[in-house]
Amino acid sequence: MRRALFAATAFLSLVPTAQTVLAADDTPEAPYVDDRSSADAVIRSLYSAINRHEFARAWGYFGETKPAKDFDSFVKGYDGTDKVEVETGSVSDEGAAGSIFYNVPVAIRATDKTGGEKVFAGCYTLRQVNAQIQAAPPFDPIHIEKGALKPSTADFEEALPSSCGDGPPPPKKDAALEQAKKAFLATYGAQCDKNLLANEPETFSIKYKDKDAAASDPERETRLFHFSCSAAAYNESSIYYMSDDVSGVRQLQFTEPEMDIRYVNNDSEGKVESMHIIGFQTTGWATNSDYDQEAHTITTFNKWRGVGDASSSGTYLFRNGDFSLVQYDVDASYDGEENPQTVVDYNTAP
């Protein structure tokens, strides 16, 4: 006998998924997700469709029991919805008579078009009919049997049910990672490639001691989060966030020298006459970047054109809780060869 599925009071007509999804007209278009490989993937697909206003696709993720009396009522239920944030917990499953039933804990924070927010929590039930016993079309893929959420008085971060049926409790939430993801999406969501916005960032843990720390002092930790933002023909742009117990989550800024570059006869295709640093500036963008976990350095390499014969590159070393510019090279000649000159050097001993 399958596990108790949950106490349901009404079919859900708001919005859940395993990841944060945006749906407002003034935010980046939600990624297109159509994945029936798992129960939580179906939920993500459902709300990908909802947030993209592809309601016929959303309707199709339900089985014979639909979430509203008819399709028009289903669509109308989302008239006032602006955007939704969703969390799902650990999925439990139970086999029964040629099928597997999945129970998915869900919590959502729904924002309406006036800016009002409401939190709901509950469970979804999905069914997967054994593919081997489906001998004739149409094929019945994994689908949503039912889903019901109740209003919750808890904060969104605390509203997720610990389990549905006999499912295990959800894993502990990574608060720093979630805060970095929200900051990245809020600041750069409209500028980054849509297909990259749904990707999880690379995460790194940097253990170290301050320069003035005593031998008996414990190590400190800084978290580093690398978000891919855009990929052009020959340059890829990234954003980095850092987190520690002192400053919390903050965006990493990269120092770059401002160059005065002059060419013979003012011909930028000719020989370089002189290069001088006339100041320094910072940027949140890192081009063709890479973090070396052994050296604790972030390197950047900005191609000025596709062949890479003209470029600028930086090396940023982590020390005492932050990254510092220690080397910067510039190749200003468009001569078909890579011949950079070091203009900032704190790597080489005097």
Using one digit for the tens of pLDDT, what is the confidence trace for 135-189?
A: 888 888 999 998 888 999 999 999 988 888 665 554 566 889 989 999 999 999 8
From the list 218, 223, 216, 132, the residue with the least C-alpha distance to 175 is: 223
- Mean pLDDT over 254-277 rounds to 95
User: Sign of torsion, CA 52 56 60 64?
Assistant: positive
User: Considering the domain 39-158, what is its CATH architecture?
Assistant: Roll (3.10)
At 9, the pLDDT band (50, 70, 90 cuts) reads very low
pLDDT digits (tens, 9 = 90+) for 107-118: 888 888 888 899
Q: Which residues pair with 128 in a beta bridge?
A: 100
3-state secondary structure of 158: helix
Angle at 231 between CA 227 and CA 235, to 5 degrees: 105
pLDDT digits (tens, 9 = 90+) for 49-75: 887 889 999 999 999 889 999 999 999
The pLDDT value given to residue 152: 93
Asked if 7 and 105 count as a contact pair (C-beta separation under 8 A), the reply is no
d(CA 323, CA 317): 5
Q: Residue 48, by phi and psi: left (phi above 0), alpha (psi -120 to 50) or beta?
A: alpha
H helical segments located in the chain: 39-51, 55-59, 71-76, 175-188, 194-197
Produce one character per residue of 56-71: b if its CB has 16 or more CB atoms within 10 Å, e if not: ebbbebbbeeebbeee
Q: Which residue has the tokens 């596990």?
A: 3
The pLDDT value given to residue 29: 72
- Stronger pLDDT, 149 or 30, i.e. the higher one: 149
At 10, the pLDDT band (50, 70, 90 cuts) reads very low
The pLDDT value given to residue 19: 40
pLDDT digits (tens, 9 = 90+) for 227-239: 999 999 899 999 9
d(CA 91, CA 96): 16
Asked if 315 and 322 count as a contact pair (C-beta separation under 8 A), the reply is no
At 213, the pLDDT band (50, 70, 90 cuts) reads confident
Domain ranges of the chain: 39-158, 176-345
Asked if 46 and 144 count as a contact pair (C-beta separation under 8 A), the reply is yes
pLDDT digits (tens, 9 = 90+) for 273-325: 999 999 999 999 999 999 999 999 999 999 999 999 999 999 999 998 999 99
- Is pLDDT above 90 for 79? no
